[in-house]
Chains A and B, each alone.
Chain A
Amino acid sequence: MAMSGVLRPGLVQIRVLDMAAALIHYRDRLGLDVVTTGADGRVYFKAYDEFDHHSIVLREAEEPGMDYMAFKVESEKALDEFARKLRDYGAEVSDVPAGEQPGVGRRVSFMTPTGHRFDLYATADLSKDGPMVDNPDIWRSEPRGMRIIRFDHCLVYGDDIDGTAKMFVDVLGFKLSEMALAPDGTTPIAIFLTCGMKAHDVAFVRYEGKGKFHHASFRLESWNDVGHAADIMTRYDMSVDIGPTRHGITRGHTIYFFDPSGNRNEVFSGGYEYYPDEPVRKWTYDSAGKAIFYYERALNERFMTVVT
């Protein structure tokens, strides 16, 4: 079987300052469906083309940011194996019981050298509103808002990205698809990792301090849908970082914007298909602008420094 071990990004739990404002943003503007609200106030969402119970969890808190991102692995046996490997590697690992989130089985939680928490899980209930499987129409009912297909990836900022990338590659079997280098030509300042055939499933950028959240990204079907998302952002006066534009890295079409708590979101379409025998694509420091924003060919300070 071509894909094993870690299958894909499964879910992300994001902190918001004001759930009422967040609902308008994630449900009405992005067009995610509210699956359920937990007794503790957490709200669970999914995109129309996702099979599993949910993919986005919002938790109201006094500081925005990312609580954790979780990857789905192929089996309970693989989950046990990853837990053992992470412990052997020296990672701080803890067990999260099934049902901590509705519809999601037990999770294995670990901390990275960059101070981020990631979880792994193997079991999730199928959503009753997931994509059709018998003579499937392209959707059950027409997608709303920005017409997001699925939760795609996260990019986070922290200090020891070398250590974190090594953990993802050596222990979890991720592949390094692409990186951007410091002026010395060897030190990575941005690392893009994939566990499947997408150009990236998680990315790390070097930054002083630990545990910072740069963005959660949502997949759209097309460049046309990126334009439609931009129309929605202007119509509803949403806070935009940059775009529509394109990345050199991954080649994806993109807009970066902010949720009502200042967490950066991305809508993203395209990107190349990655095969695990491909060489690592590299960007030198003098091309960092083109790497991140292919059309502007320059970085904006907000993209580089604004995090939650």
Chain B
Amino acid sequence: MDGAHNIEVDDGGSFPCAPERNVLLAMERCGVAAIPIGCRNGGCGFCLVQVTSGKYRTGPMSRRHVSKDSSEAGYALACRVYPDSDLSMRRATQAERLEGSIGPAEPPSGYGNRK
């Protein structure tokens, strides 16, 4: 892929991503399962990552999941990250993912179960 940047996810492998494509979609198209896939559109917070090195642009993301402060600390939703260089990132922990959600950081029960 011409002009593609390499995306490295801690403990998750790596894949190429073109500058105009978001990191989550590039990952999904490469058949890599390094980051959880939710709505793919910046709303649900499932694909929260922290970018640890590299340059990138972001698209609109739910402020519930990525506050201005956490955005400055490199947190972003992978479905809204567009690479301008090779990137290194790590998946957010479940606690980090749920921080922005309503209610306690406990796995939901019943149909909402995260097994």
Q: Is the CB of B110 within 8 A of A258?
A: no
Interface membership of B41, Cβ < 8 A:
yes
A12 to chain B, nearest CB (A): 16
The digit string for A4-16, where 1 denotes a CB below 8 A from any CB of B, is: 0000000000000
State whether A209 touches B103 (Cβ < 8 A): yes
Q: Which of A44-70 contact B (CB under 8 A)?
A: 62-65
- How many Å lie between the Cα of A207 and that of B109 in the bound state? 6
The reply to whether A180 and B37 form a contact with Cβ atoms under 8 Å apart is no
**Which partner residue on chain B sits nearest A292 by CB separation?**
B111
Q: Are A305 and B112 in contact (CB under 8 A)?
A: yes
- Interface positions of A (Cβ within 8 A of B): 17-18, 21, 62-65, 115, 157, 159, 180, 182, 187, 189-190, 205-212, 239, 241, 258-264, 288, 292, 299, 301-302, 304-308
Cα distance, A211 to B60, chains bound together (Å)? 22
Q: When A207-B111, A261-B43, A301-B114 are in contact, do A308 and B102 touch as well, CB less than 8 Å?
A: no
Give the contacting residue for A17; candidates B43, B109, B112; CB below 8 A.
B43
A210 and B108 contact, CB distance less than 8 A = no
Residues of A within 8 A of B62 (CB): 17, 62-64, 261-262, 308
| CB-defined A-B contacts under 8 Å, sample of 10 | A17-B42, A18-B60, A62-B63, A206-B111, A208-B109, A258-B41, A263-B43, A304-B111, A305-B114, A306-B39
B104 at the interface (CB under 8 A from A): yes
**With an 8 A cutoff between CB atoms, is B9 at the interface?**
no
**What separation, in Å, do the CA atoms of A232 and B61 have in the docked complex?**
25
> By DSSP majority rule, is chain A's interface helix, strand, loop, or mixed?
loop
Closest B-chain residue to A159, C-beta based?
A: B103
Interface-central residue, B40, B64, B104, by most chain A CB under 10 Å: B40
In contact, B106 and A208 (Cβ under 8 angstroms): yes
- When A17-B62, A211-B102, A212-B102 are in contact, do A262 and B111 touch as well, CB less than 8 Å? no
Which residues of chain B from 86 to 115 have any CB-CB distance to chain A below 8 Å in the complex? 101-104, 106-115
Cβ contacts under 8 Å, B106 to chain A: 208
Residues of A within 8 A of B111 (CB): 180, 189-190, 205-207, 288, 292, 299, 304
Minimum distance in angstroms from B49 CB to a CB of chain A: 16
Task: Indicate with 1 or 0, residue by residue over B29-43, a CB within 8 angstroms of chain A CB atoms.
Answer: 000000001111111
Render B10-46 as a binary contact track against A, CB cut-off 8 A, 1 for contact: 0000000000000000000000000001111111101
Contact between A308 and B43 (Cβ–Cβ < 8 Å)? yes
B50 nearest CB across to chain A (Å):
20
Do A63 and B64 touch (CB < 8 A)?
yes
Once the chains bind, are B102 and A209 in contact (CB under 8 Å)?
yes
B102 near A210 (CB under 8 angstroms)?
A: yes
Q: In whole angstroms, what is the CA distance A301 to B112 when docked? A: 8
Evaluate contact between B102 and A258: CB separation under 8 angstroms.
no
**What is the distance, in angstroms, from A168's C-beta to the closest C-beta of chain B?**
19
Q: Which of A159, A260, A292, A299 contacts B41 (CB 8 A)?
A: A260
Chain A residue nearest to B103 in the complex (CB) = A209
CB-CB < 8 A to A62: which residues of B?
A: 62-64
B115 to chain A: closest CB distance in Å?
A: 8
Taking the nearest CB of chain B, how far is it from the CB of A36, in angstroms? 24
* Bound-state Cα–Cα, A258 to B40, Å: 8
CB distance from A260 to the nearest CB of B (A): 5
> How many Å from the CB of A88 to the closest CB on chain B?
28
Cα(A299)–Cα(B64), bound, Å: 26
CA distance A64 to B39 in the complex (A): 11
